[in-house]
Amino acid sequence: MSRRSSARRYVVGAWPTARRLVRPRVVPRAAILTVARPFDVPSAPRARSESDGADAYNGTPDIPGMECARHPSRVTAGTTRGRLHAVSDSILFEVSDGLAHITLNRPERLNAIDGDAAHRWRDVAREVAERDDVRAVLFDAAGGAFCAGGDVAAMAALGGTGAIVTELADVIHEGHRLFVETPKPMIAAVQGATAGGGVGFMLVADYVVAGEAAFFVSKYADIGLTLDCGVSTLLPAAVGQRRALQLTLTDRVLTAAEALEWGLVAEVVPDDALGDRAEAVARHWLDGATGAYGQAKRLLRSGAATFAERLDDEARTIGAAFETPEARTRVAAFAASRARHA
């Protein structure tokens, strides 16, 4: 068997499971409690030689183009700006002028999620949901990659079991659920590689801006694991079931341009403009009818089970919105403008 063909061997049993997970089932879109294995590296680790450089490490996912992510100095990426305080070393969190700024901060591990990061993700989600001074969220990542999914190497080193993985999956899922259900719009700025469960983290955001060099892969079956981090729910909701199956049942690498065509991301911008564009969108929300944007997000991502329930929710929400000072001011201004032009 050639080296190339050997590298393409997959754990076939993982594919039928992936297929089953992205098929329609009776699970609300916002209920991200779908898969119990959040620790996925896009490809099996490979041994690295001295020529790979001192900053390379054995656990780096072997993904085409990932070399740039291993050397952040080669890429202008991430949108972190100003001074952020660390919720932990793995996630940075700051609130300023109504905007919560969350940054995945494990660039040396391609922002893969370990146990500490999983708990911090949930804790930050709780804080965002509870704080009245947070009205919108900017979500990004440090270094040359957005997120390589779960840190399998860290779990293996700790002797992780299936029960531990399930427990941590529930922790991540709670954070996902809070971010999706909280009526505060969230934008993600995505650079470099997004792989495996990283796709689920990205799709928790309501609006995604990607850099031109960004790319997206599944790679679950390479190590015999199944979809996690909400991918089985969020991915088909974003791109449709057939395209979700295409991405998860093959080794396809989706470029930023293709991701835009698929509807996986909302915009593609030059890499060096990524941070500015993401912040501009967030500021647009903050400068506008922020409460209305948040409720629109909540309604569209609601887990209401029936069409009738959704209609009832819409009716209650627009009635409550009409009573807010912001809406009354805007409605009065609109009516006055129409009267002047009558």
Residues 316, 241 share a domain: no
CA atoms within 13 A on the CB side of 235: 32
Residues 248, 327 share a domain: no
What total of structural domains would you count in the chain? 2
Alpha carbon distance 152, 124 (integer Å) = 23
Residues 324, 283 share a domain: no
> 303-341, pLDDT tens digit by residue?
766 778 877 887 888 888 878 888 888 888 878 887 888
Better-predicted residue by pLDDT, 138 or 35: 138
Alpha carbon distance 155, 172 (integer Å) = 15
Better-predicted residue by pLDDT, 52 or 120: 120
Strands 215-217 and 193-195: parallel
Indicate the DSSP class of residue 147.
Answer: B
Alpha carbon distance 250, 238 (integer Å) = 18
Residues 314, 251 share a domain: no
Residues 330, 223 share a domain: no
- Which residue is it, tokens 């049942």? 249
Residues 269, 333 share a domain: no
Residues 244, 335 share a domain: no
| Residue 249, domain extent | 3-287
Residues 335, 259 share a domain: no
Residues 310, 252 share a domain: no
Residue 179 is predicted with a pLDDT of 97
- Which residue is it, tokens 């740039």? 68
pTM confidence score = 0.75
Q: Is residue 147 part of a domain?
A: yes
Q: Is residue 330 part of a domain?
A: yes
Ranked by mean pLDDT, the top range of 39-48, 206-215, 311-320 is: 206-215
